[in-house]
Structure 1
Amino acid sequence: MGLFNKLFGESDNKDTSSSRINWNALTSLQQLDDIIQESAEMPVIIFKHSTRCGISRMALSGFEKEYAIDTESAKPYFLDLLQHRDISNEIATIFHVQHQSPQILIIKDGVVVYHASHGDIDAGKVGEMV
């Protein structure tokens, strides 16, 4: 059962403190306005994650292992979809990107310039795009 729980998890929450990525928690709709403004200065990355989904957990784990973008090159945000589905819905509306889970978006100058989901989430590709 231990391996099963590691793959598919039994926790509802992501502990971002153990990640190599200095995630910024995306927890309010107001932050989307801030993200649009921030994206004029540097690319913003949003990782949308379902904390109860094994596929999402595997995509996140692989992304975090391969992530090599320095903090001056992009600002990464983490969205817990189970706690903040309203924010995910607003992201779909504002940025004209269909909701997926897991999903990664890169925003520059207030526009999504790249997005991928599931097995297409690739930290190397994200690094190229920022």
Structure 2
Amino acid sequence: MANVNELKTIEQLNEALDHTAQKPLLVFKHSTRCPISAGAYQQFQSYLNEQPSEDVDYSLIYVVENRDVSLAAADTLHVKHESPQVILIKDGAPVWDTSHSRITASALREALS
């Protein structure tokens, strides 16, 4: 399983975004209060438990517990805030994102291959 770093501060978010100049980053924005997010999180975990791309870093933002980080990600990346949501970032810019029931293990495999 790939390592997933939780982003709890805006500083951690900014460091992770800076690192995308070296390696792409997939951010999963998760709400612990939403059943749709729970299903998307299971799909994310399923992808990570199979054969996740080693060419990508993985991060998690809990949108309720770390709302400031979640909103900063949306603002910095100019991506409408949604939850659940995944955003693939390269060179500090989003190159792919999707949300809700479109977050599936197969969609992640396709986007990250």
Which TM-score applies when normalising by structure 1?
0.77
Q: Is the 8 A contact 2:62 2:70 kept in 1?
A: no
Shift of 1:82: 1.2
Partner of 2:109: 127
Structure 2 Cα separation of the partners of residues 110 and 50 of structure 1: 24
Measured after TM superposition, the shift of residue 38 of structure 1 is 1.1
Find 2:86's aligned residue among 104, 117, 120.
104
Structure 1 residue 61, shift from structure 2 partner: 0.4
Q: Deviations over 1:39-85 (max 9, x none)?
A: 11111010000011111001110221133314x31110011111101
Report the count of equivalent residues. 110
In 1, Cα distance between equivalents of 2:40 and 2:59: 15
Higher relative contact order by CA 8 Å / sep ≥ 6: 1 or 2? 2
Match for residue 72 of structure 2?
90
TM-score relative to the length of structure 2: 0.88
Higher-strand-fraction structure: 2
Superposition RMSD in Å: 1.5
* Structure 2 counterpart of 1:10: none
**What SS does the aligned partner of 2:52 have?**
coil
Max radius of gyration: which structure?
1
Structure 2 residue corresponding to 1:57, chosen from 38, 46, 49:
38
Q: What 5-or-longer segments of structure 2 have no aligned partner? A: none
Gaps of 5+ in 1: 1-19
